[in-house]
C-alpha cells in the first residue's frame, strides 16, 4: 500500500500530509468546537459551541474571537464577538436550521495585524437533504440516443508502448480512441500488470484542470488494469506549457462552454468519452469484463458516477467529493456544487441554462445508479460543499457506503482511501 499512498497524494493534486498539518502549524489556531462530536444535529436543534485560540500550544486568555454563521456556501446571517475567559475559552450558540442542510460556523482572531480563522460546517439531518434539481422526463432517452450514436463510430484504438515508464511489474501505453464524433478522440495512459490472466480494471477519471498524465499508474500495483484518461480531447503527454496556454485560452472557463444547449455543452463529449473508455477496456483480453470500476474525485467523482450510471459494463464505483451536484442550488437559496453555476440571478439566458444543467447534474445520474458505490468527503469542503454531495448521495438507491472525514476540506485522509480500496477489492473478490 505504500505505493498507493504515494499515488494518492499525486492524484488529489495536493499533499494530504501538508493540508492536514497546515492548520496545526499556524501561529494561532482558532477552534469552534461543537457540543456534538459528530457535528450533526436534528433540524431545529440549537448547537452549542466552545471557542478558543491556541498560540504556541497554549489557549489564549482574554482574547476576542469573532464568530459568524450562515447557510453552507452563502453569506453569514449573524456575526458577533466574544472574549475568552481565564481558561481561554468562550461560548456561543447557533440556532437550529429550519430544514435539513448545513450551517457554516466561522471563527477568527486578529493578532498583530494578522487574521487567523477556521470553519466548522455542522449538519442538520444531512441524510434528509433533498435536491432542488429534477430529472427531465427524457433524460434517459437523451443519453441512450447519444451513446447509441457514439457507439456506431469505430474506436480505432491506437497504443504506443512507453519503454521508459514500463518496468518489470507493469507495462505502460499511451492510448487514443475515437469517440463521440468522427475525428474526436479520447486520450489516456494505460497501465497493465504483467501478471497472467484476466484482471479487474479501473477507469481513473480526472479532477478539474487541463494537464498531462503519465505512467505507471500506481493502482496497477494493486492488481488492476488502469486506464487514466483526460476529458478535453487532447493528448495527455504534451509539454506543460501547452496545457497552460489552453487553460488560459481556448479552454478557459470550459465548464460553461456551450451551456446554452444540451447538445453543445462541453461535458457531453467528455461523458461519452468516459463511456467509450469503458467499452475499450471490455475489448481487452487481459480485462475481466465483470469487474470494472470507475474511480475519481471532484470532477472525476462526478464522471465516476455518470459513467457508472450510463454504462451497464461498470460493476462498482468510488467517488469522492463529486462535483456538479445540485447545480441549481444557488438559484433556490442554498449551496450548490462546483463549478458553482447560477450564483448570479442576472446571468444571461439563465432559465435555459438551468434547463440544460438538469441533463448534466450529478444528482440525476445518481438516481440511475444500479451498482454498489463507495463515497467519501468532508463537511468542510469549500468546492463541493456537503449540501450538494449529500443531495446526490441521498437519492442513490443502489448499495452504497459513505465515509466522512468531518474536518476535511477538498481532500481526503489516507484512511478514507485505504478503506475505499479495501471495499473495492472485496467487491471484486481480491486479496486485500
Q: Cα(387)–Cα(334) distance, rounded to whole angstroms?
A: 8
How far are the Cα atoms of 268, 305, 393 from residue 367, in angstroms, in the given order? 18, 10, 9
Mean pLDDT of the 416-431 span: 95
Please report the beta strands in 298-372, taking only residues with DSSP state E, as ranges in sequence order: 316-320
Same structural domain, 175 and 238 = yes
Last residue of a domain, one of 73, 98, 128: 128
Per-residue confidence band for 345, with pLDDT thresholds at 50, 70 and 90: confident
Angle at 186 between CA 274 and CA 224, to 5 degrees: 60
| CATH of residue 208 | 3.40.50.1820
Q: How many domains, the chain? A: 2
Decide if pLDDT at 420 tops 90: yes
Same structural domain, 100 and 220 = no
Task: Report if residue 414 sits inside a domain.
Answer: yes
Same structural domain, 117 and 143 = no
Per-residue confidence band for 351, with pLDDT thresholds at 50, 70 and 90: very high
Full-model pTM: 0.94
What pLDDT sits at residue 101?
98
Task: Report if residue 16 sits inside a domain.
Answer: no
- Tens of pLDDT, residue by residue over 143-196, are 999 999 999 999 999 999 999 999 999 999 999 999 988 999 999 999 999 999
What pLDDT sits at residue 284?
98
Last residue of a domain, one of 86, 106, 128: 128
What are phi and psi for residue 222, nearest 5 degrees?
-90, 0
Last residue of a domain, one of 104, 128, 152: 128
Mean pLDDT of the 85-96 span: 98
Same structural domain, 233 and 368 = yes
Kindly give, in sequence order, each residue whose CB lies less than 8 Å from that of residue 167, ignoring residues fewer than 6 positions away: 216
Same structural domain, 98 and 150 = no
What pLDDT sits at residue 26?
84
What pLDDT sits at residue 60?
97
Q: Cα(266)–Cα(252) distance, rounded to whole angstroms?
A: 12
Q: What is the mean pLDDT of the chain?
A: 94
Kindly give, in sequence order, each residue whose CB lies less than 8 Å from that of residue 324, ignoring residues fewer than 6 positions away: 299, 302, 337, 338, 339, 360, 361, 362
What pLDDT sits at residue 20?
40
- Tens of pLDDT, residue by residue over 366-389, are 999 999 999 999 999 999 999 999
Same structural domain, 146 and 57 = no
- Please state, for a pLDDT cut of 90, what percent of the chain lies above it: 91
What pLDDT sits at residue 348?
86
- Tens of pLDDT, residue by residue over 232-281, are 999 999 999 999 999 999 999 999 999 999 999 999 999 999 999 999 99
Decide if pLDDT at 38 tops 50: yes
Decide if pLDDT at 22 tops 80: no
Cell digits for 46? 440549537
The 3-state DSSP class for residue 267 equals helix
Cell digits for 144? 441512450
Task: Report if residue 133 sits inside a domain.
Answer: no
For residue 243, what are the domain limits? 139-427
Same structural domain, 64 and 206 = no
Decide if pLDDT at 24 tops 60: no
CB 398 within 8 A of CB 371: yes
Task: Report if residue 150 sits inside a domain.
Answer: yes
CB 324 within 8 A of CB 336: no
- Please state, for a pLDDT cut of 70, what percent of the chain lies above it: 94
What are the catalytic residues? 298, 381, 410
Cell digits for 414? 489516507
Mean pLDDT of the 113-129 span: 97
Longest dimension (CA), the chain: 74
What pLDDT sits at residue 346?
82
Same structural domain, 118 and 147 = no
What pLDDT sits at residue 12?
46
What pLDDT sits at residue 312?
98
Mean pLDDT of the 194-215 span: 96
CB 30 within 8 A of CB 108: yes
Q: Is the peptide bond before 339 cis (omega within 30 degrees of 0)?
A: yes
Amino acid at each position: 500500500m505504500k505505493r498507493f499512498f504515494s499515488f494518492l497524494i499525486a492524484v488529489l493534486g495536493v499533499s494530504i500530509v501538508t493540508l492536514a498539518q497546515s492548520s496545526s502549524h499556524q501561529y494561532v489556531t482558532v477552534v469552534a468546537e461543537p457540543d456534538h462530536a459528530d457535528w450533526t444535529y436534528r433540524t431545529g436543534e440549537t448547537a452549542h459551541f466552545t471557542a478558543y485560540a491556541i498560540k504556541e500550544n497554549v489557549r489564549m486568555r482574554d482574547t476576542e474571537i469573532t464568530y459568524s454563521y450562515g447557510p453552507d456556501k452563502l453569506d453569514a446571517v449573524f456575526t458577533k464577538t466574544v472574549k475568552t475567559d481565564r481558561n481561554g475559552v468562550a461560548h456561543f450558540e447557533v440556532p437550529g436550521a429550519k430544514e435539513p442542510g448545513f450551517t457554516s460556523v466561522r471563527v477568527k482572531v486578529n493578532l498583530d495585524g494578522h487574521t487567523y480563522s477556521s470553519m466548522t460546517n455542522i449538519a442538520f439531518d444531512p441524510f434528509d437533504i433533498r435536491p432542488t434539481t429534477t430529472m427531465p422526463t427524457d433524460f434517459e432517452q437523451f443519453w441512450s440516443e447519444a451513446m447509441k450514436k457514439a457507439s456506431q463510430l469505430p474506436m480505432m484504438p491506437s497504443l504506443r508502448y512507453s519503454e521508459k515508464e514500463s518496468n518489470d511489474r507493469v507495462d505502460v501505453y499511451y492510448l487514443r480512441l475515437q469517440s463521440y464524433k468522427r475525428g474526436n478522440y479520447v486520450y489516456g495512459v494505460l497501465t497493465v500488470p504483467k501478471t497472467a490472466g484476466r484482471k479487474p480494471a479501473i477507469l481513473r477519471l480526472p479532477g478539474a484542470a487541463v494537464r498531462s498524465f503519465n505512467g505507471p499508474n500506481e493502482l496497477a500495483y494493486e492488481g488492476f488494469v488502469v486506464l487514466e484518461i483526460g476529458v478535453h480531447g487532447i493528448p495527455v503527454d504534451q509539454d506543460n506549457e501547452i496545457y497552460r496556454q489552453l487553460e488560459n485560452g481556448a479552454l478557459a472557463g470550459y465548464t460553461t462552454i456551450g451551456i446554452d444547449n444540451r447538445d453543445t455543452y462541453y461535458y457531453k463529449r467528455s461523458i461519452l468519452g468516459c463511456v467509450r473508455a469503458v467499452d475499450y477496456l471490455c475489448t481487452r483480453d487481459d480485462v475481466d469484463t465483470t469487474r470494472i470500476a470507475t474511480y475519481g474525485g471532484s470532477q472525476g467523482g462526478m464522471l465516476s458516477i455518470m459513467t457508472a450510471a450510463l454504462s451497464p459494463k461498470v460493476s462498482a464505483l468510488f467517488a469522492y467529493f463529486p462535483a456538479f451536484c445540485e447545480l441549481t442550488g444557488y438559484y433556490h437559496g442554498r449551496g450548490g456544487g462546483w463549478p458553482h453555476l447560477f450564483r448570479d440571478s442576472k446571468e444571461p439566458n439563465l432559465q435555459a441554462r438551468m434547463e440544460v444543467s438538469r441533463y448534466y447534474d450529478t444528482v440525476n445520474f445518481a438516481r440511475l445508479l444500479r451498482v454498489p458505490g463507495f463515497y467519501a468527503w468532508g463537511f468542510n469542503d469549500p468546492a463541493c460543499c456537503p449540501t450538494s454531495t449529500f443531495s446526490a448521495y441521498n437519492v442513490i438507491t443502489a448499495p452504497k457506503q459513505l465515509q466522512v472525514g468531518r474536518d476535511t476540506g477538498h481532500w481526503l485522509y489516507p484512511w478514507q482511501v485505504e478503506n475505499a480500496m479495501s471495499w473495492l477489492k472485496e467487491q471484486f473478490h481480491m486479496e486485500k
